[in-house]
Structure 1
Amino acid sequence: MAAMEVERVRCATTGYAGEEEALPLPRELSVEDLQKDVLLSLLPENGSSPKILDLLTAADKREENGVAGGWRRKGEGEGEGGKGQGEAEVCDGAKPQSIAGARTDNNSRRSMRCRSLPITEPEAEDEYTGEKEAYMAAVLARFRHTLEERTRNHLGYPYNLEFEYGALTQLQCFSINNLGDPFIESNYGVHSRQFEVGVLDWFARLWELEKDEYWGYITNCGTEGNLHGILVGLSLQQGLAGTTVKGAVDDLDCVIATLERCGYPRDRFYIHCDGALFGLMIPFVKKAAKVTFKKPIDSVSVSGHKFVGCPMPCGIQMTRMCHIERLSRNVEYLASRDATIMGSRNGHAPIYLWYTLNRKGYQGFKKEVADCLKNAQFLYLRLREAKFGAMLNSLSSTVVFERPQEEAFVRKWQLACQGKIAHVVVMPSVKVNKLEAFVRELLASRKKFFPDGVVVPPCIADELGADNCECPDCHVA
């Protein structure tokens, strides 16, 4: 341990200031359509470019042969009954495709996989005509449009999509890599360790651990933090608790009390807290049990791209310094030590996290947590008023409800589903007006399956309990 402390030279801290099957790709991302649009834009007014005309003719032929468009084809030719083998099935708006009727065989999965945007070798004259640059610009412009549309209709996954990082675009021209231990300099100088350590110090204060008592790093995703926690406590018996789909928050005090009551001494258990989403929300909820290293826990991990709102996947992993000595190794190639799982680590992510923590601070996050919990309660009450089976766990912003029957609706709103239930995760980017629009469309979608107006909700008592079910057998008016 002493040797470890000697070698742990802290970088200068930049401080804190205060499956169901996949649906086909939409036509708007059809490669052939994009090519034709760009070619037409490049065609001179007199139409005197033989090369462009040839390419347009080839694109038209591909479309006639059933290659173009947003649907992935299985093959060519006629199948039984005169129907083309490669013909894609399109859900008629008047006849909604239910999840129960969705095709799930392997062949249909292959036929419905997203089509790719091909990579083609540039031709020698491209640098003069600019055709390739124009084509790629059109692809990216349309992709941006798709991302904007998908962001507007995003509800099912725990990502905060409301952020503004325009000030950081000036750093995108640098290959920033934080390989190795964040607290120890290496020979690679294009790094952002000072930002990384600043972020770690902020979380150490949040979880009540002194600077010289913790070790941590910014991971490439939340799961990497869990893997690191498991790695540190690998020699002990493993057990898991908790769930993602229903938004449960484990009672940490109960877990600790159970271990103590069963006679486990402190050196015989290792508690890793997977706080992917709620690990950053719970500290700002008054009635919630605190996640703090003053309790006998050993490591905590949270995701940086969820509640914080980082545009690239990342996470924060923190553990007690005493656990790291046996993992840390000298790496001569780097002239440093390393106890991380991965080699190269995204050096941009710490800067984005540092930027957000400085802008929002503890008070900013506290307000966002309160708004999320309030809006989750709003959605839950609206669903129950509309006779949907639904549940909202205490201290949670995840609203669980009966799975919508229309597959197109599930895909539009990007709902996370499991069996007969689905959920909406209310994040800072989810406002009341979006929730109101969601409920309106959900009601309209349900009506398609009950044309006589008599709605019979499914039974979800096994999943959510009879009190949260609206089926005739469970619900008493």
Structure 2
Amino acid sequence: MGSLSLEMDFEPLPMTPRSLAMTPRSLARRRLFPNGENKKQKVAPPGAGPRKNLELEVMEPGLKNDGPSLDTILVNYLDTLKQRVNYHLGYPVNICYDHYATLAPLLQFHLNNCGDPFLQNTVDFHSKDFEVAVLDWFAQLWEIEKDQYWGYVTNGGTEGNLHGILLGRELLPDGILYASKDSHYSVFKAARMYRMDSETINTSVNGEMDYSDLRAKLLQNKDKPAIINVTIGTTFKGAIDDVDVILETLKDCGYSQDRFYIHCDAALCGLMTPFINNMISFKKPIGSVTISGHKFLGCPMPCGVQITRKSYINNLSTNVEYIASVDATISGSRNGLTPIFLWYSLSAKGQIGLQKDVKRCLENAKYLKDRLQKEGISVMLNELSIIVVLERPRDHEFVRRWQLSCVKDMAHVIVMPGITREMLDNFISELVQQRKQ
């Protein structure tokens, strides 16, 4: 258990070449119309604006219904999503993956990875063998030995942050949480949930932690341990907090290694930085790292990976007789499909494929920045980042059309693996026309 391989040791469900090559739309129609009643519905033309919220209600079988059928609603919904894929620029989700049809037969089973990933359940409907393979891959990426780490596949980056900060709180019960003001909102949510004392650290213009402010606040609270959230790629500007500078600051302020805990929130960049700059490593005195699996790698549903040191996890572990396992997770019952999607993606791409994705995204981000600058649009791009920050477009409809994320007078485009230069050119062209108007 634990090796990443495309060679399966189970009998796969029968799939035909035709079904493997089907698009989401055709796959859905095949399922929705098993008797061949595949009537094409009217859909909005390509490039249509943001989809409107559907006025839906749950239908009662057997009662007269004057509205569209279940099948019609779903097919139209799928068609709308397919069109909107080409206008998804503002949020860090990789929607570029084509193995959904291969893995679709798994949906006929309820897969629940409750309990510890490294302990088998009494129920066979789980995917913990896939989960451990994924965890082993990330443990190697972040330089920690198999027998030294513990982790699990989460429901997303927020759960990873909740788990990492909880570990820090359990190890250092009277510790103060330090996080930059550009940290993900889930970090401050964790402070409220766990009723932790916290300090918000200022940031520079580019979004990186202000280390002089960190130093000042560490010295102010020198009588209490420090639990520090390090952001590897801030949510809006893509800035990276320097782990080495933070460790040096802790040392200078008199904090020994038993008086601090570092959690690395690497939701987007945790799969990028190892191929550019090896800043995330358990060879350094960090406590935990989390990433979001649906972001740079891509997955049809939110998921994430959380890795920590095995010696820390006993502080959270509880024996649960009902599931014949030990549980140290946040959510208890966990999605058994996501480890398989992550395992398949990692096996299909490999480190070489991921490295190519990173290189292409960085090049496309610089391409977008340069093009915007030539058009006289204020723009910012952090080093090692794929998040291009620009002036907020004044037209609300334009913002919605391109699904941009905005904060105050700024917007950003996140250049994910599925974003092509053609999409960027279309975006720039429309933005220039909008500004003229």
TM-score by length of 2: 0.75
Amino acid at match of 2:312: H
Q: Which residue matches 2:427?
A: 438
Q: Which residue matches 1:224?
A: 159
Amino acid at match of 1:164: D
What is the CA deviation profile of residues 393-434 of structure 1, one whole-angstrom value per residue up to 9, with x for unaligned ones? 011000000000000100000000000000000010011111
Matches within 5 A, 1:193-272: 193-234=128-169, 235=173, 236-241=175-180, 242=182, 243-272=234-263
CA deviation after TM superposition for structure 1 residue 15, in Å: 2.8
Same amino acid, percent of matched pairs: 51
Task: Choose which of 332, 335, 342 in structure 2 pairs with 1:343.
Answer: 332
Report SS of the residue matched to 2:179: coil
Unaligned stretches of 5+ residues in structure 2? 8-36, 38-43, 183-233
Bigger mean CA deviation after superposition, 288-297 or 344-353: 288-297
CA distance in 2, matches of 1:374, 1:124: 56
Task: Choose which of 313, 318, 321 in structure 2 pairs with 1:329.
Answer: 318
1:300 and 1:319 in contact (8 A); partners too = yes
Amino acid at match of 1:435: L
Q: Which residue matches 2:397?
A: 408
Q: Which residue matches 1:174?
A: 109
What is the CA deviation profile of residues 335-363 of structure 1, one whole-angstrom value per residue up to 9, with x for unaligned ones? 11000011211000000000000000011
Matches within 5 A, 1:92-241: 114-123=53-62, 135-165=69-99, 166-234=101-169, 235=173, 236-241=175-180
CA deviation after TM superposition for structure 1 residue 118, in Å: 0.9
CA distance in 1, matches of 2:401, 2:116: 42
Report SS of the residue matched to 2:150: strand
CA distance in 2, matches of 1:205, 1:426: 27
Report SS of the residue matched to 1:391: strand
Task: Choose which of 296, 300, 304 in structure 2 pairs with 1:315.
Answer: 304
Amino acid at match of 1:404: P
What is the CA deviation profile of residues 358-393 of structure 1, one whole-angstrom value per residue up to 9, with x for unaligned ones? 000011000100000000000000111000011000
Identify if the C-alpha distance between structure 1 residues 143 and 113 changes in structure 2 by more than 3 Å, giving closer, same or farther.
closer
What is the CA deviation profile of residues 127-172 of structure 1, one whole-angstrom value per residue up to 9, with x for unaligned ones? xxxx99x811111110011101111100000111100122111211
2:6 and 2:344 in contact (8 A); partners too = no
CA distance in 2, matches of 1:275, 1:400: 19
Q: Which runs of 4+ in 1 moved over 2 A?
A: 12-18, 112-116
Task: Choose which of 406, 418, 421 in structure 2 pairs with 1:417.
Answer: 406
1:305 and 1:313 in contact (8 A); partners too = yes
CA distance in 2, matches of 1:433, 1:114: 28
Q: Highest CA radius of gyration, 1 or 2? A: 1
CA deviation after TM superposition for structure 1 residue 113, in Å: 9.2
1:16 and 1:202 in contact (8 A); partners too = no
Amino acid at match of 2:143: E
| Mapped pair 1:276 → 2:267 | yes
Amino acid at match of 1:167: T
Identify if the C-alpha distance between structure 1 residues 17 and 124 changes in structure 2 by more than 3 Å, giving closer, same or farther.
closer
CA deviation after TM superposition for structure 1 residue 125, in Å: 8.8
CA deviation after TM superposition for structure 1 residue 13, in Å: 2.7
Identify if the C-alpha distance between structure 1 residues 124 and 154 changes in structure 2 by more than 3 Å, giving closer, same or farther.
closer
CA distance in 2, matches of 1:113, 1:378: 32
CA deviation after TM superposition for structure 1 residue 289, in Å: 4.6
What is the CA deviation profile of residues 34-81 of structure 1, one whole-angstrom value per residue up to 9, with x for unaligned ones? xxxxxxxx9xxxxxxxxxxxxxxxxxxxxxxxxxxx9xxxxxxxxxxx
Q: Which residue matches 1:39?
A: none
CA distance in 1, matches of 2:237, 2:294: 20
Q: Which residue matches 1:360?
A: 349
CA deviation after TM superposition for structure 1 residue 14, in Å: 4.8
1:251 and 1:289 in contact (8 A); partners too = no
CA deviation after TM superposition for structure 1 residue 187, in Å: 1.8
TM-score by length of 1: 0.69
CA distance in 1, matches of 2:281, 2:387: 23
Identify if the C-alpha distance between structure 1 residues 375 and 113 changes in structure 2 by more than 3 Å, giving closer, same or farther.
closer
Amino acid at match of 1:116: E
